[in-house]
Each structure stands twice: as C-alpha cells, then as structure tokens.
Amino acid sequence: MQSGTYDRTERRTDMNERIVKRLANLCSVKSITTLVLTAVFAYLAISGKVSQEFMLIYTTVIAFYFGTQSQKLSDAVDGQATKEEK
C-alpha cells in the first residue's frame, strides 16, 4: 500500500518539476518577444490597423519560434529513441 503512495508522490514531484521548467522556458527572451508581438497583433487586428510590414514581421517571428520549438521536440524524440536502442 505504501508503494502506491510513493508512486503518486513521485509522479506529482515529476509533474511539478516539468511545470517549473516550462514556466522558466516561457520567460526566455524569445518567448516574451513572441507573446508581446502576439498581443500587439491582436490589438492591431481588433482596431483594424494591421499593416503589411507588421504582418510580415509577425509571421516571420511566429514561424521561427514554432520552428525552433518543433526542432527541439524532434531532437528530444530522436535522442530518446537513440537511448532506447542502446
């Protein structure tokens, strides 16, 4: 019975660590820039003042941000697959 309690406690600790790590990653300069640009884009879209230049900059930043996130995820999956093969 104690084993089940230990497993839940261990899983809760792992989940807390992941949440803290994700919050720390969210505070990176790249993430803050993306969030601010998204807020500005939302404001401009609501007010109907989105210029072509801003749209180009915004889509470039968003594509870069999600492209790097996707690459990190892909590298992590590839690294884990390599560990499992060994």
**This prediction's pTM:** 0.54
Compute CA distances 72 → 47, 67, 81, whole Å. Answer: 35, 9, 14
User: Per residue in 46-72, pLDDT tens?
Assistant: 999 999 999 999 999 888 888 877 787
Residue 60 is predicted with a pLDDT of 92
| pLDDT, tens digit, 9 for 90 and up, residues 4-33 | 565 777 778 888 888 888 887 777 777 788
DSSP 24-35: HHHTSHHHHHHH
